[in-house]
Amino acid sequence: MRPEIKEYNYDWMLGSLLKVASEIGNSSEKEIQYLTNYIPYFKGTLSVLLREGEVGTCFIRLLDKYFDNILTAHQNSKKISAITFCLSPALFHAMNIVPVTLEVMTGLAGLLWKRGAYDYLDYGCELGFTETSCSSQRGALGAYLAGLGEEIDFLVCDTPGVCDTNANAFAFASTFMEKPFFQLNYPQTIGDEKTRKYHLDDYKDLITFLKEQTGKDLDVDRLREVLKEVDKQDDILAEIEDFYCLVPNPIPVIFNLFIYIGRFISAGLPEYTELLELMLEKVQQNAQKGITGLHFEQEKARVFMCYIDHYTLNLDFFDWLNRRGISHLGGILSRNFRDNTRYASELEKSTYGIDTSTFETMLTSLSEMNATLPMVRSIRGPFDKPNMWLEESISLARLYHADCVVYNGTPGCRNTWGMVKPFAREVEKAGFPVHIMNGDAFDDRVESWESTVNRLEEFLSIRGLL
């Protein structure tokens, strides 16, 4: 690692930038103009966010709050846990544990800095972690392994059974940093009684682990408070979801990112509710006027991202979609599979509800909510079995009138790369043109954005979509 990289902590650097950025909501146009001269590497991302007005600045404030929590955790006598994006932070918020979501931390480096997380990605490899491991954890992990962040007290993941490379990253980090580690395991099916019971048993073990690590009991009232907030958030999400069916799609492209990042880091917290309310308002306004959520063009095509988005520097992917007139219908990260959503009626067996009446019902809600998170829900078993990736993708693509389906991931994603070709074939058979992107969502050095966008343009033009 370059010596100068070791000067400052990773989380502090990201947090400091966001703290200043969070004040932008109170700034005048002229002040913002002046500011952009001093932020050559952030201004691209910033302009994409500010284009969304109040929603964009609210999102920045949500991120600022998240980092504030991390950077002050220990001084406020709270423990810090490294978690993964497909593990709900709600329980952690209820137990006053500050969750550090590795993939979000890696992705943010890409949005906020010139070189993204390159230096940190490589550092893990210097320590013996494989280069072929998924970049989503590896970026932020490099920083933590180098001791360049607030000290992690323990690690929790729920990807054994779902994603080896993810689980392996946590196991490696736990050994390297000599910190306790807990894994929720997921079986290959979802929706049957036996599996539900299993989810609950495992989740109870998680709570026991967290109690041991914090030395505190689970405050049932606080849990109820957090779950009620999640319930409120789920209601708003369900309303927003309905709008995906409209043609043109009134949901701005970048809202997809806001929806899932907010959920991964702030589910159950009021700052996420505030963001969702502002988003809903905007979407309702667009829908009332019958206009698209795109800023520069009329809607020319509708794409369903069956896996994850591309987090290249400056939010280029989202910006490109906007400029080309392509509506983003969400992807595997976007949906929560709450039982109040339209798509849930097609996939009933693998949804969750929230019941805050007793401690037992709350635990069931939590364990089932966790079981329907991205990847955990639908890549836990063979892709063409009920409720799994194929059924989920085709069902959503149909419901939202997608013109095509695009797969983007990372070279580390052994699970999807092991089945994406047969998957693509089946999706094509179902009537959707499919494009498989070869790049790395978190590391532009694998395939540069220019090459990536060339191929996307080629696909859209050859298949007559643009």
Partner 1 sequence: MTIVAGCDVGSLTTKAVLLKDNRLISTSLIRSKAKPQESARIAMEELFAKADLSEKEMEYCVGTGYGREKLAFVNAVKSEIACHGKGAKWLLPSVKTIIDIGGQDCKVIKIDESGTATRFVTNDKCASGTGRFLEVMAQVLGIDISELGQQSSRSKSPVTLASTCTVWAQADVIKQINSGVPIEDIGAGINLAMAKRIATLANSIKPENDICMTGGVAKNQGVMSLLEQLMGCRIRKIRKSDPQLAGAIGAALFAQEKLLSA
Partner 2 sequence: MNSRFLQAATSINFPDLEQWKDEGKPVIGYSCSYVPSEIFHAAGILSMRLRGIETEGMEIGDSYFGPYICSFPKCILQLAGHGKFSILDGVVITPGCDSMRRLYECWQKAGEDYDGIVPGFFHYLDVPHKTVSHRIDWFVDEITALKIAVEEKYNLRLDQDKINASIEVYNTGRRLMDELEGLRRKESVPLSGSEAFAVAVAGTVMWRDDFNNELKQYVENLKTNATDTHKHKKRLMLIGSISDDIELVSLVESNNKAVVVADNLCFGVRQEENEISINDDPLRALARFYLGESTCPRMFGKYGERLTLMKKKIETCKVDGVILQNIRFCDLHGSENGLFERDLEKVGVPCLKLEREYGPLTETGRIKMRIDAFLERIS
- Helix (H) or strand (E) segment spanning residue 207: helix 193-214
Which of the listed partners (partner 1, partner 2, none) does 447 bind, with a CB threshold of 5 to 8 Å by partner kind?
Answer: partner 1
Interaction residues for partner 2, span 245-274 (CB under 8 A): none
Phi first, then psi: what are they for 387, rounded to 5°? Answer: 70, 0
For residue 237, the SS3 value is: helix
The binder of partner 1 chosen from 42, 66, 118, 182 (CB under 8 A): 118
45 vs 378, beta carbon nearer partner 2 = 378
188 vs 454, beta carbon nearer partner 1 = 454
Least distance to partner 2 from the beta carbon of 89, Å? Answer: 21
**Interatomic CA distance for residues 463 and 466, integer angstroms:** 8
Least distance to partner 2 from the beta carbon of 332, Å? Answer: 16
175 vs 448, beta carbon nearer partner 2 = 175
Q: Pick the closest to residue 104 from 441, 450, 453 (CA basis).
A: 441
Stretch that binds partner 2, among 9-17, 50-58, 299-307, 413-421 (CB under 8 A): 413-421
Instruction: Check residue 122 for interaction with partner 1 (CB under 8 A).
Output: yes
Q: Pick the closest to residue 141 from 179, 111, 184, 197 (CA basis).
A: 179
Before 187, cis peptide (omega within 30)?
Answer: no
Could you give the C-alpha distances from 301 to 41, 51, 182, 279, 310, in angstroms and in order?
30, 21, 43, 22, 18
Question: What is the sign of the dihedral through the CA atoms of 169, 175, 177 and 180?
Answer: positive
- Which residues contact residue 439 at a Cβ distance below 8 angstroms, ignoring those fewer than 6 apart? 310, 408, 446, 447, 449, 451, 452
Least distance to partner 2 from the beta carbon of 441, Å? Answer: 13
Phi first, then psi: what are they for 79, rounded to 5°? Answer: -90, 155
Q: Dump the DSSP string for 112-144.
A: HSTTTTHHHHHHHHHTT--TTS-HHHHHHHHHH
27 vs 451, beta carbon nearer partner 1 = 451
The binder of partner 2 chosen from 19, 295, 414, 455 (CB under 8 A): 414
Least distance to partner 1 from the beta carbon of 410, Å? Answer: 11
Where does 372-419 have alpha helices with state H?
389-399, 414-417
The C-alpha angle 385, 391, 396, rounded to 5 degrees, equals 165
The binder of partner 1 chosen from 34, 53, 54, 127 (CB under 8 A): 127
Interaction residues for partner 1, span 412-451 (CB under 8 A): 444-448, 450-451
Q: 166-173 long-range CB contacts below 8 Å, 24 or more apart?
A: 166/84, 166/134, 166/136, 166/137, 168/133, 169/102, 169/129, 169/133, 169/134, 169/137, 169/138, 169/141, 170/82, 170/84, 170/137, 172/129, 173/82, 173/141, 173/144, 173/145
Q: Pick the closest to residue 95 from 194, 184, 201, 203 (CA basis).
A: 203
Of the chain, the end-to-end C-alpha distance in Å amounts to 44
Least distance to partner 1 from the beta carbon of 217, Å? Answer: 44
Least distance to partner 2 from the beta carbon of 413, Å? Answer: 7
**Interatomic CA distance for residues 167 and 159, integer angstroms:** 5
381 vs 411, beta carbon nearer partner 1 = 411
Instruction: Check residue 453 for interaction with partner 1 (CB under 8 A).
Output: no
Stretch that binds partner 2, among 158-166, 215-223, 269-277, 360-368 (CB under 8 A): 158-166
The binder of partner 1 chosen from 115, 222, 228, 295 (CB under 8 A): 115
Stretch that binds partner 2, among 32-40, 297-305, 354-362, 410-418 (CB under 8 A): 410-418
Instruction: Check residue 221 for interaction with partner 1 (CB under 8 A).
Output: no
Interaction residues for partner 2, span 89-148 (CB under 8 A): 127-130, 132-133
Which of the listed partners (partner 2, partner 1, none) does 35 bind, with a CB threshold of 5 to 8 Å by partner kind?
Answer: none
Stretch that binds partner 2, among 155-163, 214-222, 322-330, 344-352 (CB under 8 A): 155-163
Q: Which amino acid is present at 110?
A: G
Instruction: Check residue 40 for interaction with partner 1 (CB under 8 A).
Output: no
Site mask, partner 2, residues 174-193, x = CB under 8 A?
Answer: xxx----x-x-x-xx-----
**Interatomic CA distance for residues 57 and 279, integer angstroms:** 12
Least distance to partner 2 from the beta carbon of 147, Å? Answer: 16
Question: What is the sign of the dihedral through the CA atoms of 184, 188, 191 and 195?
Answer: negative
Stretch that binds partner 1, among 70-78, 120-128, 227-235, 323-331 (CB under 8 A): 120-128
Least distance to partner 1 from the beta carbon of 115, Å? Answer: 7
Which of the listed partners (partner 2, partner 1, none) does 172 bind, with a CB threshold of 5 to 8 Å by partner kind?
Answer: partner 2
Question: Do 298 and 325 meet the contact criterion of CB atoms below 8 Å apart?
Answer: yes
List contacts with partner 1 (CB under 8 A).
Answer: 1-3, 115, 118, 122-123, 125-128, 411, 444-448, 450-451, 454
List contacts with partner 2 (CB under 8 A).
Answer: 127-130, 132-133, 160-161, 163-165, 167-168, 170-172, 174-176, 181, 183, 185, 187-188, 194, 198, 201-202, 205, 381-384, 411-422, 425, 436, 438
